[in-house]
Amino acid sequence: MEAPRARRFFEAQDLLWILLFAGLAWFSPTRSTGEVLLLLLLGSLQVAEPKIPALTVPKGVVGINLLKLFLGYLLTGYTGGLNSSYYLVLLLPVVSAATSLGWVGTLVFTLLACGAYSSYLLFIDWSRWVLPAEERWELSLRLAFLAVVGFLTRQLGEAKSVEARKYQSAAEQLSEANRSLQEAEAAMRRSERLAALGQLSAGLAHELRNPLGTIRASAEMLVKNVQQENEIAREVAGFISTEVDRTNSLIGRFLEFARPLELRRQPADVSEVLDRAVARLERDAANNGVTVYKNYSPDIPAVRLDAELMERVVYNLLLNAAQASPPGGAVTVKTKMVDDTVEIAVIDRGSGIDPKLRESIFNPFFTTKPDGVGLGLAIVSKIVDEHGGRITVESEVGKGSVFRVHLAAPRE
């Protein structure tokens, strides 16, 4: 485990930096101890800078570049000041600032580098020395060179930043496309399962109804012919009739799920559809005593839909939200425009849905309720699909769920 960490700390370009600064020291005419020490310090800073997180934030970048500028100033002054061949070392902080601190940082460090180099003029004894015209031009060219390199580096850094933003934007678009593709694949798998299970349930339901009718008729005849004092037989016959009725009801729901829907679309006020669903929930004894809060957007247009079926969709979502909420809790139904769709959101603050179960909740016969049959959300999904919409769910265990129904808004 230690070897990979060492390789990450010391990389190939670090060796190149060491060789470059060693070359500067080797080709120096004097190779004095102070000169070599200052080069060693500058090289160490250059190698260590990208490896220390504190030096990659703006304050750290400013601090390390000021230190480079100071060491470069000392090295240039130690080796001859204005005549030093090391004046180009002052480019290190300028280039580093240009790549990290934007145009303002580039300007500040360029001015500091030019000022540092120009300050060597203060150490000249002007009573003994004269600066010829050609040397003044040389000094001006060196200062201009510092500025040109700094701003050229900033320009290249800006172009690199623009490209990086383009790549980031492309990556985000690819991520969004991948998420949409995953949702589409999940919807397709759900549709395939719904189609297969729908066909199976329809055939099975038809086959079961005839024998169930015979069983119920036999139970009724048993009740008529059994003696009054035989309470056990009469009670068993009653159980048979009750269970047959419950099974017939379940078969009816199977057939309703499997049967193709015939939508009666008409322009409808979405708020009125939601109000009817909320009123129906408030009358339902199984609403767990929750309070429903309405948050309707005023800019929702009339939508062509089957109002009765869409009311059923919202009622089922509200009932599930109420049953998932603690007694006396709150459920919110909300509408808003999202791009070209009308979004209906049912929000609860209940127990939430386990992430492992989230993809299965719209499958027929899948339920977590002890007395459920697992067709409510399957029928809801089918109705929404038939309207050309889509339904999604966001949930966090212990914090609640949000079911969103998206319906196409009418075109202008």
Ordered DSSP codes for 175-207 = HHHHHHHHHHHHHHHHHHHHHHHHHHHHHHHHH
Residue owning tokens 């003994």? 128
- What would the DSSP string read from start to end of 125-182? -TTT----HHHHHHHHHHHHHHHHHHHHHHHHHHHHHHHHHHHHHHHHHHHHHHHHHH
pLDDT digits (tens, 9 = 90+) for 351-402: 888 888 877 787 766 676 656 666 778 888 888 988 889 999 999 898 999 9
Tell me whether strands 303-305 and 330-338 are parallel, antiparallel or unpaired: unpaired
CA atoms of 98 and 105, how far apart (whole Å): 7
DSSP-derived secondary structure letter, 260: P
Q: Per the structure block, which two tokens stand in for 300?
A: 């929702």
pLDDT of 72? 82
The verdict on pTM exceeding 0.75 is: no
Q: How far is CA 408 from CA 12, 314, 332, 343, in A?
A: 57, 16, 22, 9
Facing residues of 336 across strands?
A: 343
Query: What structural domains and CATH numbers belong to the chain?
Result: 2-130 (no CATH), 187-258 (1.10.287), 266-408 (3.30.565.10)
Confidence at residue 4, expressed as pLDDT on a 0 to 100 scale: 44
- Confirm if 375 and 254 have CB atoms less than 8 A apart: yes
Alpha carbons 278 and 289: distance in angstroms, whole number = 13
Spell out, as residue ranges, where the chain has pLDDT lower than 50: 1-7
- Residue 296 DSSP class: -
pLDDT digits (tens, 9 = 90+) for 164-185: 888 888 888 888 888 888 888 8
Classify 224 as helix, strand or coil: helix
